[in-house]
């Protein structure tokens, strides 16, 4: 069972999906700690209610020294015995120090079908582009923003009359289902980073990574 540190900056809805998944029998990951860079992040309370150690490392006192902040963060992850890191709405870009330190052991969820719509305002940009399919992506974290090898994706139809809020709500529901599954794949060793690619253990069919609306058929027993 892998010890996972979850990094957040806000309300922690994806965090909650990971907390819930980790209570399932046989799930290969345990949430060892939750750390936020914002003291007022509502997700900290979610973690505490679940009995998970939750703390803040505020980035502001570090000023422009991003690596110093990351070294403090890395030290706390190490103190909790963390083996994998899951970003769940963590609104900080990492320097090479953190990327290299956690290479192949840090994953992120992004509310778009990468490589389309990297960065912010994904739902507005998707609607402006007139796409018919939106969704979300779980990927390994690399130095380029939202550029890491893709672990899994979930597709969501864009409906007539959608606005940012309605599309975001359906994509978020898909995030809540795909992120625990992707973490399960990484924690169990069924997917791993090899060079610049995500490679899968094909013996159990876990290379069928595009799912809509949910990965029910790929759940491990």
Question: What amino acid positions are annotated as catalytic residues?
Answer: 110
Query: Which letter, b or e, does each residue of 44-83 get, where b requires 16 or more Cβ atoms within 10 Å of its Cβ?
Result: bebbeebebebeebebeebeeebeebbeebbebbeebebb
The CA dihedral of 135, 141, 142, 148, to the nearest 10 degrees, is: -30
55 and 61 in contact (C-beta within 8 Å)? no
Q: At what angle do helices 122-129 and 164-187 cross, to 10 degrees?
A: 120
């Amino acid at each position: 069972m892998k010890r996972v540190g979850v990094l957040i900056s806000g309300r922690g809805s994806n965090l909650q999906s990971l907390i819930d998944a980790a209570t399932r029998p046989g799930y290969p990951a345990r949430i060892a700690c939750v750390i936020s860079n914002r003291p007022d992040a509502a997700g900290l309370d979610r973690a505490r209610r679940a009995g998970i150690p939750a703390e803040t490392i505020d980035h502001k006192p570090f000023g422009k020294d991003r690596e110093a902040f990351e070294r403090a963060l890395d030290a706390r992850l190490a103190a909790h015995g963390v083996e994998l890191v899951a970003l769940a709405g963590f609104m900080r870009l990492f320097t090479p120090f953190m990327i290299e330190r956690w290479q192949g052991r840090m994953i992120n969820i992004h509310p778009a079908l990468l490589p389309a719509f990297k960065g912010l305002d994904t739902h507005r940009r998707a609607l402006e582009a007139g796409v018919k399919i939106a969704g979300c992506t779980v990927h390994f974290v690399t130095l380029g923003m939202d550029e890491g090898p893709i672990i899994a994706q979930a597709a969501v139809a864009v409906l007539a009359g959608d606005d940012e809020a309605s599309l975001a709500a359906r994509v978020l529901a898909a995030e809540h289902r795909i992120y625990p599954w992707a973490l399960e794949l990484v924690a169990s060793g069924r997917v791993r980073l090899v060079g610049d690619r995500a490679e899968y253990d094909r013996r159990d069919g876990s290379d069928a990574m595009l799912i809509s609306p949910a990965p029910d058929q790929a759940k491990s027993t």
